[in-house]
Amino acid sequence: MPPSTSDSLVSLRNVRFAYGEREILRGIDLEIPRGKVVAIMGGSGCGKTTLLRLIGGQIQASSGEVRVADKVLKNLPKSDLYALRRRMGMLFQFGALFTDMSVFDNVAFPMREHTNLDETLIRDLVLMKLDAVGLRGAYKLMPAELSGGMARRVALARSVALDPMLIMYDEPFAGLDPISLGIIGQLIRRLNDALGASSIMVTHDVSESLEIVDHVCFVSEGRIVAQGTPAQIRESRDPFVHQFVHAEADGPVPFHYPAAPIAEDLLGAEERR
C-alpha cells in the first residue's frame, strides 16, 4: 500500500502533463515516503523522467497537484522554488560531470554556488563526500581520467554535497559493468539511510533495483499501473509487471508497432510497380 500523505515527502495527485498535443501523463497519483527509496519503472517514453522534472519544478503539471515537503510547487514564488531545489540532489544519466573541472571541483561546485562556506570547510566536506563513495584518493583527477563507474560515483558524491532531503536518480545504472552497478546500488541505499533522505530512482534495471528499494511503481501509458514492495513485485501475476520483470517479448507491451498486415504492404508494393 502507498504511504499516507502525512508520511510523504512527495505527493502527486491526479497529475497530467502534455508536450503540446502529446499527452505524457494521464492522471498520476504517487506518494514518496520519507526516508525510503522508491523505484519508478516502465518502458521507454512512458513519462518516468517527466515525473522527475515535475517534482524538481523544472516543468509544471497541466493539471493536478505536485507537493514537495508540504509545499505545492505551482504556488511557489521563484525564490522559494529555488530554495526548495537546494534541498534536492540529482544524479543525471551518465553522471553529467563538468568535463573541465577536477573531481574535487565537481563535488565542491554546489557548495560554492549555494553556500557561504569558506574554502577550508568546503575542502573538508568534499573529501568526506568523496570518501563516502570510495574516491577520496581521486580528488585531483579530471573526468576524462575516470572509468564510467568512477564517474558515476563522483556524480553521486556531488548529488549529496548539500545533504539533500530528496535525491533523484535518472537511470543510475545505465552503461555500468556488473561490479560498478552493484557498487552504485549499495551506495544509493547506504547514502539514503545515512542522510535520512528520500530517494526516487528511475530505472530499467529490475534485478538490482529490487535488491535495494523499499517500493516500486510501474508506469505505463501515462498512469501508475502497478506498485508494491519488491517481494510483491516478484510474485505479481499482473501481466504487465510479469512481462517487465521477466523481460518477455510477448505481453501487454507489444513487440510490433501498430501497422497493417505485412501481406497488405508487400502485395500493395507489388501492385504499384
pLDDT tens digits, residue range 50-61? 899 999 988 898
Q: pLDDT tens digits for 105-131?
A: 999 999 999 889 999 999 999 999 999
The C-alpha cell 574535487 sits at: 104
- CA separation (Å) from 273 to 6, 259, 270? 67, 21, 5
Residue numbers of the domain that contains 266: 5-87+164-272
Asked whether residue 156 is domain-assigned, the answer is no
Task: Please state, in angstroms and rounded to a whole number, the distance separating the CA atoms of residues 178 and 236.
Answer: 26
Q: Is residue 186 part of a domain?
A: yes
Instruction: Give 243-256 pLDDT, tens digit per residue.
Output: 777 666 666 666 56
Say which CATH number the domain at 38 has: 3.40.50.300
Please, what is the angle between helix 119-132 and helix 103-114, to 10°?
130
The answer as to whether 96 is a domain residue is: no
Coil/strand/helix, residue 86: coil
Number of domains in the chain: 1
153 in a domain, yes or no? no
Round to whole Å and give the CA distance between 133 and 224: 33
**Pairing mode, if any, of strands 63-68 and 8-19?**
antiparallel
Q: Does residue 195 belong to any structural domain of this protein?
A: yes
Q: Are 198 and 31 in contact (CB under 8 A)?
A: no
Q: What is the pTM of this model?
A: 0.83
- Chain segment 5-20, per-residue pLDDT in tens: 458 899 999 999 988 8
Would you say residue 143 lies in a domain? no
Task: Please indicate, yes or no, if residue 188 is contained in any of the structural domains.
Answer: yes
